[in-house]
Amino acid sequence: MSQYSSQDKAFESYEMQESKFLTPFQRKALLKNLQANLQPEYRRRIEIMLLADVGKSQTQICETLGCSQEMARYWIGIAEAGLAHKWNERPIGRPKIVNHQYIERLKELVTHSPRDYGYAFGYWTAQWLSKHLAGEFGIVISDRHINRLLKQMGLSTKRKSSPPPETDNTKDGAITIGDLQSSSETSLHWSFNLMQTNN
């Protein structure tokens, strides 16, 4: 236990720092679990989430804890998603990887409106696709990775630019005709009011 004592002291000071996304309850529970005699892998998960919660970058966390970028990214994502309490539910080992089912579901989601899935907004972003799929599959990947997967499938969350709407110059039955002379000349406008005739 002595090897962890200096780190434990460091984590005690985190209680005084402002939390970025953990609730006070989550933070307290994680700090309490950190005092227990945990397997190193579980301990590292908690440390990643606590460090991220006080604003440490992924790179800083990897340097401090000696963990992989992939592991740090995964557990930072779990903490941000409000799932920090699940630190011990996931078996130790490599994170789940994106599989065929995940790709097919991503394709299905991006070709439909988010409203079809109960969201209030009309267009997907990579971030929302990532969150939605994390909820369904338990696989947390970055927005950039989502965009890469979409690009490989020839898809995108970017909206296609639609042609500008044609201007309708008929307002309340009036048509305005403009003179197409150069702007240096004075332009002439005539207005005709269309009268509805009843046959």
Q: Is residue 130 part of a domain?
A: yes
Number of domains in the chain: 2
Phi, psi angles (nearest 5°) of residue 130: -60, -45
Same domain, 122 and 47: no
Q: Is the pLDDT of residue 124 over 90?
A: yes
Q: Using one digit for the tens of pLDDT, what is the confidence trace for 43-73?
A: 889 999 999 998 899 999 999 988 888 889 9
**Which token pair is 25?**
């309850």
| pLDDT tens per residue, range 141-172 | 888 889 989 998 898 887 765 555 555 555 55
Owning domain of residue 134: 100-152
**80 and 10 fall within a common domain:** yes
Residue 132 and residue 72 share a domain: no
Task: Taking residues 21-30, report their average pLDDT.
Answer: 87
The CA distance from 4 to 167, in Å, is 70
pLDDT tens, position by position, 172-198: 555 555 555 544 444 444 544 555 555
Of 86, 113, 139, which marks where a domain is finished? Answer: 86
Q: What is the mean pLDDT of residues 27-46?
A: 86
Residue 9 pLDDT greater than 80, yes or no:
no
- Long-range contacts of the stretch 43-51 (C-beta < 8 A, 24+): 43/4, 44/71, 45/75, 45/87, 45/88, 46/87, 47/7, 47/11, 48/72, 48/75, 48/76, 48/79, 49/22, 49/75, 49/76, 49/78, 49/79, 49/84, 49/87, 50/11, 50/14, 50/22
Domain boundary among 33, 51, 86: 86
| Burial degree of 85 (CB within 10 A; 0-12, 13-18, 19+) | middle
Supply the pLDDT for residue 179: 52
